[in-house]
Amino acid sequence: MTRPALLWFRNDLRLADNPALMAVADRPILPVFVLDDDAAGAWKHGGAQRWWLHHALASLGADLSRRGVDLHLAQGDAAIIIPALAAAVGAEDIHVAQRFEPWGRRQDEAIATALKSTGRRLVRHRGTLLHDPHALRTGQGKPYQVYTPFSRAIFAAGEPAPPMDAPARLHPVANPPAGATLDLLPKRDWAKDFPKHWQPGEAGAAKRLAAFGTRALAAYDGARNIPAIPGTSGLSPHLRFGEISPRQVWHAAREAGATGSHTFLKEVLWRDFAYHLLFNRPEMPEAPLAEKFAAFPWQPNPKYLAAWQRGMTGYPIVDAGMRQLWATGWMHNRVRMIVASLLVKHLLQPWQDGQDWFWDTLVDGDLASNSASWQWVAGCGADAAPYFRVFNPMLQGAKFDPEGTYVTRWVPELARLPKNLIHQPWEAPPGLVRDYPPPIIDHAFGRARALAAYAAIKGETA
C-alpha cells in the first residue's frame, strides 16, 4: 500500500505547476494550511493580505474538493501542528514549497529537525521562484547586488521548464482529522470594495493572465507607466500567494511574442531579485543594507505619516495613490515610487514606516519585494536609486497622468480643475477647490532638506 503524505500549502495556493503537489499526486494525501501568526511575528499577514487569504483558501479548498480531497485548515504553532498531523495520518514525508523569509527558514529547520527525530522528513520543492536564491552567484562566487547583471544571468541561463498541468484526481487519506475555521476577514468591512477589483484564487489568476494577453504586452513598454489605464498585469497578488507560478507567467509571456514581453519579464525577475537579496541579507526588512544609512537623521512625525496614509498631503498624484491603495488594496507601481519618495525624502519619515503601512494595506504585500522596493526608493538598499534623486510630484503627475484622469478618479475634490492645474491645485482661483489641503511641505524646501540630510551622513556640506 502506498504510504500517505502531508501536503503543506503555504505560499503556493494552486494545483497547476505545483511541484510539491505533483510529487505526491498519486498517493493518499492530507492537504494542510496552517495560520501561524506567532512564528511570523511582525511579518504575519497584514489586513489586506488576510482578506485575500480568506478567499484564496476558499478557492483552493473548492478546487481540491472537486478532485476528491478536502483542505485541512489549522491555526497555531506549525512546529507542533505539522508533526502531529503527520503522525495522525501515518505520513512519513511532508511536502512543501520553499520559503525564503528569515522567520520561515528558521521554522522550516526546526520542523525538519523535529520530524527527523521521529523518522519523518520535510521535503522542500522550488515552486515560488524561477531560481533558488542560494544557487545563483556572480563570476566571483558572490551574491548579486545589482539587478541588471542578475537579470542578464537568468536570461542567459535559458528558459525555465514548462509548467505542469493540475492533476485531474487526488486521493484522500483514510479518516482525515477535522480542521478549524480561520478568522481572517476584517471586523469592520473596510475591504468591501475589494471584490470589485479582485478575484482571489487560481481561477482568478488564470483569468487575469489571459486578460493581460498579447495586446497588453504589445503596449506594455509605455502603458505600464500610466496609472490611469490597465497597462500592467495585475498579477502581483496572485504571484504573492502562489495562485500562479512564475513559470506559468514566463511561458505565457514568451508565447505571446509581443514587443513588450521582455520588459514585462524583467519586472517578473525583480521579484526573484528581491528574494535573492532577502535570502542573502535577512536583515533587509528591518535595517538598511547600506550601512551609512544607520545614522540617517530621520525626523519621525506622526502627523506627517497620518496625512500621507490618508491621502491628504496636498500633492494630488501622491494622494490619488494612497487612496487607491486604501480602496483597492493595490497601487500602481509608478505611483508607489512617487508616494514613497515623498514620504522618505520630502518628509524625512523612516522608510520602515512606509514599508509597514504597505505591508498592512497591500493585497500583494510580499516581504522581499516590499522591503527591497522601499530600500530602493530610500537609497539605502542594494542597487538603490541615488538618494539625491528626489521625485518632483508635480512633474511626475504631469508626465504620467497628463489629463488628470487618475488623480480625479481618486481625488474627486479636484474634478473641477482644468488639467493644467490638476497637479498644482494651490494655484487655482478661489472656489474651484474645496476640502483639499495645501501641500504638506514645500517641494523645494523638502528637496533641499533631504539633500542636506544625505550630505550629513556622507560627511559633506549640502
Render pLDDT for 343-394 as a digit per residue (tens, 0 to 9).
999 999 999 999 999 999 999 999 999 999 999 999 999 876 777 789 999 9
The yes-or-no verdict on residue 460 having pLDDT over 60 is: no
Which of 126, 150, 169 represents a domain boundary (last residue)?
A: 126
- For residue 333, what is the domain's CATH number? 1.10.579.10
What b/e sequence results for 339-357 when a residue is b if at least 16 CB atoms lie within 10 Å of its CB, and e otherwise? bbbbbbbbbbbbbbbbbbb
Same domain, 256 and 390: no
Q: Are residues 119 and 153 in the same domain?
A: no
> Which residues lie closer than 8 Å to 379 by C-beta, 6 or more apart?
290, 293, 385, 386, 387, 388, 389, 454
- In the residue annotation, 270 being an active-site residue is answered as yes
Residue 212 lies in a domain: yes
- Determine the Cα angle at 194 with ends 166 and 398, to 5°: 110
Q: Count Cβ atoms within 10 A of the Cβ of residue 369 and give its class: 0-12 exposed, 13-18 middle, 19 or more buried.
A: buried
pLDDT at 213 over 90: no
- Report which of 69, 396, 361, 100 is spatially closest to residue 237, judged by C-alpha positions: 361
Model pLDDT for residues 122-157, shown as the tens digit of each residue: 999 998 999 989 888 999 999 999 999 999 999 998
Active site residue 11: no
- The boundaries of the domain holding residue 44 are 5-126
Residue 267: active-site member: yes
pLDDT of residue 298: 97
Please indicate, yes or no, if residue 182 is contained in any of the structural domains: no
Could you tell me if 134 and 119 lie in one domain?
no
- The CA distance from 436 to 420, in Å, is 17
Tally of CB atoms within 10 A around 72: 25
Q: What is the dihedral of CA 145, 151, 152, 158, to 10 degrees?
A: 130
- 236: domain CATH number is 1.25.40.80
Residue with cell 497597462: 231
- Whether 333 is catalytic: yes
What does the alpha-carbon distance between residue 51 and residue 201 come to, in Å, rounded to a whole number?
12
pLDDT at 389: 86
Same domain for 390 and 255? no
pLDDT at residue 458, as a whole number: 79
> 237 and 410 in contact (C-beta within 8 Å)?
no
pLDDT at 383: 75
Residue 352 to residue 283: CA distance in whole angstroms = 12
Q: Quick count: other Cβ atoms within 10 Å of Cβ 303?
A: 9
Q: What per-residue confidence (pLDDT) applies to 48?
A: 98
Secondary structure of 178-228 in HEC code, one letter for each residue: CCCCCCCCCCCCCCCCHHHHCCCCHHHHHHHHHHHHHHHHHCHHHHCCCCC
* 192: in domain: no
Average pLDDT of the chain to the nearest whole number: 95
Active site residue 8: no
Q: With beta carbons less than 8 A apart as the criterion, state whether 447 and 346 touch.
A: yes
Task: Identify the domain boundary among 250, 280, 310.
Answer: 280
Q: What is the pLDDT of residue 441?
A: 98
- Do 299 and 270 belong to one domain? no
Estimate to the nearest angstrom the gap between the alpha carbon of 407 and the chain centroid: 24
Q: What is the mean pLDDT of residues 221-230?
A: 95
Q: Which of 225, 301, 333, 392 is catalytic?
A: 333
Same domain, 296 and 324: yes
Would 418 be classed as within a structural domain? yes
Domain co-membership, 115 together with 155: no
Amino acid identity at 176: P
Q: Is residue 286 part of a domain?
A: no
Q: Provide the number of structural domains found in the chain.
A: 3
User: Which of the residues 270, 301, 392, 413 is marked catalytic?
Assistant: 270
Choosing from 190, 225, 298, 392, the catalytic residue is 298
Residues 109 and 225 in one domain: no
**List 267, 301, 392, 413, catalytic entry:** 267
- 374 given a catalytic annotation: yes
How does pLDDT run across 15-29, given as a tens digit for each residue? 999 999 999 999 999
> Is 193 a domain residue?
no
Confidence at residue 189, expressed as pLDDT on a 0 to 100 scale: 84
pLDDT category, 461, cuts 50, 70, 90? very low
- Kindly state whether residues 275 and 361 are assigned to the same domain: no
**Residue 172 located in a structural domain:** no
Q: For 68-122, what is each residue's pLDDT tens digit?
A: 999 999 999 999 999 999 999 999 999 999 999 999 999 999 999 999 999 999 9
- d(CA 365, CA 376) in angstroms, rounded, equals 16
Helix (H) or strand (E) holding 87: helix 78-89
The answer to whether residue 326 is domain-embedded is yes
What is the pLDDT at residue 215? 85
Of these residues, 103, 250, 359, 374, which one is catalytic? 374
Catalytic residue among 326, 351, 357, 359: 351
What does the longest C-alpha to C-alpha distance in the chain come to?
81
CA separation for the pair 391, 53 (Å, rounded): 34
Examine the domain organization and report whether 155 and 133 are in the same domain.
yes
Q: Does the pLDDT value for residue 294 go beyond 70?
A: yes
Alpha carbons 368 and 289: distance in angstroms, whole number: 13
**Domain of 86: which CATH number?**
3.40.50.620
Does 87 share its domain with 136? Answer: no
* pLDDT at position 166 over 70: yes
Examine the domain organization and report whether 93 and 134 are in the same domain: no
Q: Which residue has the higher pLDDT, 224 or 386?
A: 224
